[in-house]
């Protein structure tokens, strides 16, 4: 794994060795950041299920103002912390060692509102993922006109709405899909 573009372009990142972790491929990461386009510079970025931190580090390298990473796996946290340290990004990336559900239940821990919320849950959890965004308290997580982007198995169909975020578009890359939702703050039907 490596940082694809930005100030840390080409920097190698530590990856899992034969584990259950499933890092986002370089191809999907490159497509993801192309989709973000001008939304990324000076944004506040939330990386849920951060894994090794490759997405958050890439966001920082490409100009995100601040990144918050949430991860609960001990193996992934070790790699995430090492990668952030190796890239000397500790002042730009905050790491929360807890489950996404725990993090979302604690607005006092948020460094938001966030302009981009990226979530790459284990594919087995994608069906339950929508329940995390049902609470009204979640509204404080999102900045006006923000995006929620979910990486998931291409076979998994996500609903038309996740909380107050409405589906915009879905991109396919082999067995992986990226679903983009726009936060409106309005009640969804």
In tens, the pLDDT along 97-124 reads 999 989 988 888 888 799 999 998 887 7
Residue 140: phi and psi, rounded to 5, are: -70, -15
> Quick one: which H or E segment has residue 96?
strand 93-97
Mean pLDDT of 39-68: 95
Alpha carbon distance 111, 114 (integer Å): 8
> Residue 19: which pLDDT band, with cuts at 50, 70 and 90?
low
Query: What percentage of the chain reaches a pLDDT higher than 90?
Result: 53
Query: What is the pTM for the complete model shown?
Result: 0.90
Instruction: Specify the pLDDT at position 137.
Output: 60
Instruction: Spell out the alpha helix ranges (H) of 5-118.
Output: 26-36, 54-61, 74-86, 100-104
157 contact partners, CB below 8 Å, separation of at least 6? none
Beta bridge partners of 150: 119, 179
Mean pLDDT of 153-180: 89
Which tens digit of pLDDT belongs to each residue from 36-47?
999 999 999 999
Mean pLDDT of 125-140: 66
Instruction: Specify the pLDDT at position 134.
Output: 64
Alpha carbon 87 to its chain centroid, in Å, reads 18
């Amino acid at each position: 794994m490596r940082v694809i573009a930005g100030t840390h372009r080409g920097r190698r990142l530590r990856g899992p060795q034969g584990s259950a972790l499933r890092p986002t491929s370089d191809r999907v990461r490159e497509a993801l950041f192309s989709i973000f386009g001008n939304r990324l510079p000076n944004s506040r970025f939330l990386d849920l299920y951060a894994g090794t931190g490759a997405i958050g580090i890439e966001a920082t390298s490409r100009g995100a103002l601040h990144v918050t990473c949430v991860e609960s796996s001990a193996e992934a946290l070790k790699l995430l912390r090492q990668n952030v340290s190796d890239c000397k990004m500790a002042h730009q990336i905050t790491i929360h060692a807890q489950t996404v559900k725990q993090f979302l239940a604690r607005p006092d821990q948020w460094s938001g509102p966030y302009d981009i919320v990226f979530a790459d849950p284990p594919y087995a959890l994608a069906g339950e993922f929508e329940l995390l965004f049902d609470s009204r308290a979640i509204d404080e997580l999102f900045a006006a006109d923000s995006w929620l982007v979910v990486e998931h198995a291409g076979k998994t169909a996500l609903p038309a709405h996740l909380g107050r975020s409405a589906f915009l578009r879905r991109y396919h890359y082999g067995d992986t899909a990226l679903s983009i939702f726009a936060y409106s703050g309005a009640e969804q039907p």
